[in-house]
Amino acid sequence: MSSIKGPAAPDAKFDGSPLRIAIVHSRWNKTVIDALVTGAVTKLREQGVKDSNIVIQSVPGSFELPLACSKVIAGSHVQAGATATDLLGGLYLGSFTSPRPPSRSSTPAPALVNMPSQPFDAVIAIGVLIKGSTMHFEYICDSVSHALMRVQLDTGVPVIFGVLTALTDDQALDRAGLGRGAEKGHNHGEDWAAAAVEMASHTRRWTEGKF
């Protein structure tokens, strides 16, 4: 009998080409993390997200993911609101009545920078927690889950929960498509990427009052 687990196919096909998506991952349990990130990136590309619109950042562990996601979202708004001149320090910020400083003809004009024009539409938080012999696992699972939910509610940007909470090494490997047996399992990074594209697309529509 096949498993009934897993998401049903969406009612519509979503185009990821206009979207900008971040992946923030921890570095604990690197073998599994690398496979999950690769699966997510592959699926994002399949759904049309441009390589230039996929940004990957890493943090030490899963406990650091919520703060990192929050700061990455905020930083993307700074990027989108900035211009090349702003970032290169060439914008004159004096008042309208203040004289503009004399120009120096020998100073070359700043080169144009291809800056991102939009903030992130979604963030995928990827971590791998495997139960050990202490209560550490339970505390981290609970706090990270609640904090990531708070980030998406506070920012209005979908944060996809890509944190594996496995009881054994084999459970984590199976969920990254790296199973040790004949059945390698399924790479959940692909599902998280599909969810990111879908939720980003929905959020854009809903923000515009379209249902």
Cβ proximity of 7 and 109 under 8 Å: no
Q: Collect the ranges in the chain with pLDDT lower than 50.
A: 84-85, 90-101, 103-105, 107, 109-113
The CATH superfamily assigned to 21-87+115-208 is Lumazine/riboflavin synthase (3.40.50.960)
Instruction: Note the pLDDT of residue 94.
Output: 40
Q: Which two tokens stand for residue 149?
A: 């939910």
Query: Annotated catalytic, 202?
Result: no
DSSP 10: P
Q: What share of the chain is helix, strand, coil (3-state, %, to 5)?
A: 45, 15, 40
- Residue 176's contacts (CB-CB under 8 Å, 6 or more residues apart) are 31, 32, 35, 36, 39, 128, 164, 185, 187, 188, 189
Model pTM?
0.84
Tokens of 139: 């505390």
Length of the chain: 211
Find the catalytic residue in 136, 146, 186, 188. Answer: 136
